[in-house]
Structure 1
Amino acid sequence: MKEKNEPEQISTWGKEDTSVGTKREAAPKIFEEGFTWYAVIGAFFVGFIMMPASIYLGLLIGGGIGSAAQWVTIILFMEIVRRSFGKMKKQEIYILYYIAGGLVGGGPFAGFIWNQYLLQSPAAYGFGIVEYLKAEGVRWIAPFPGSESYAARTFLHKDWLQPVWLMFICSILGRLNWFGGGFFVFKVTSDLEKLPFPMAPVGAEGATALADASGGKRDTWRWNVFSIGAVIGVAFGFIYVFIPAFSTAIFGKTF
């Protein structure tokens, strides 16, 4: 049995030379599947629970909350899995990280909320934007003011068909460009040119720390650093978001 003070053994595949005269971690020889049922259930968790909350919070504070939403989503879902006597691998956590990155920010429907607000705003009327769009027949931004969809408060309306269909088409083309072009550029820079990626291990440390915690290893340096950063983030969020929102709701003014 390993002693408590014994240094953590970190498996590595060795080093390899790059084209700029430095060393980098060699590519692994064994790959594990990350798109499992945990990732699928996590996607539904993001879509039905975290995305509406993120949209509301973004509208409340007047801006996005960045990658914090992704890590909050992963931590919550990982704790649910752990209390269900499950365990998430690094690959599953990383898949969920990218799913959360695409949906937690509100996704494309958060943009629709802004578009419909803009078309109904006094600024749009003052600059004649609505009249111009009507004259040009531009209906793919959002329904014009007076649409029945606004009274029903739903996207499931014929006036939203053009914006939603355009969003789906652009999303599919964007993903094809992202995966296809991104993989091509990665293979050129990594396998052909053999360039170093110094920030890649740094970006993976968060997923590694959570995977260690999911497996019961909470005494690693990664988990300690991650926990300290999480507490600092919670304290900042309490001052930046909770106190103004709470004081406005109770006292009618922001403290």
Structure 2
Amino acid sequence: MFKSLVSGSKPAAALSTFSSRPFSSRPQKNKQQRFPNPRLRTHAISFMDGDYSDFNDKAHEEDAFAADEEWELAPMNDDQEDEEYLARKQAEQEALKYQQEEDAKRQRWIENAKPPVREVEIDERGRAYGRGGRKTSTARVWIQPGLGTVTVNNREFLDYFSRETDREIILSPFVATNTCGKFDVVVSVEGGGVTGKAGAIRHGIARALEKYNPDYRPPMKRLGFMTRDSRMVERKKIGLKKARKAPQWVRR
């Protein structure tokens, strides 16, 4: 068959049609068939036969607010106007009062946030005074520029505090402020034991150094020398040998 087509037994048009058609079982669609445009909104306005009326047009309905009609406001009496005016004024006054209170509170916060101004407090003899406490001990301390002599209850420093740990506790404020050997110290201490007296003297020396020069406060405050140690001895409990020590338990 193919040989007869090539030889020219059929027209050339038939040959071209046969050769260009794809080999498929589906029938060939008509090329003249056209599909509607999906972008065309035929449902919005009908434009066939010159009909341009809109289905959603509400021109035939009556306008609720016609231009030629005058608007009528609801009548309002004088009493109602006065009540609304007073209520509005009261709300304004309350808002103003609340704002003033908030401003005053914010100003107090700003003032309280500022660090207090610390002044030098030195007596006529050139001494600075500080009072300290620890447990049941109370110490009164006076410092003045000198060679670093320390006197405790009219006794030598080494005689009154024989333990080195107690002496280190007492001299720690001078080490923190780099003022070792620059001040003479006179102490009057009473109450408590040796360790409590050493802690009270340290607290008093720290406060006296702050009075002599407020610039000494930050390093001592950082190390906790400016804070009074509020720890106290725990009381003994009934049924126990000491504050927490219990007697030996016997099973039988």
* TM-score, normalisation: structure 1: 0.20
**Which is richer in strand?**
2
Higher relative contact order (CA 8 A, sep 6+): 1
**Which is richer in helix?**
1
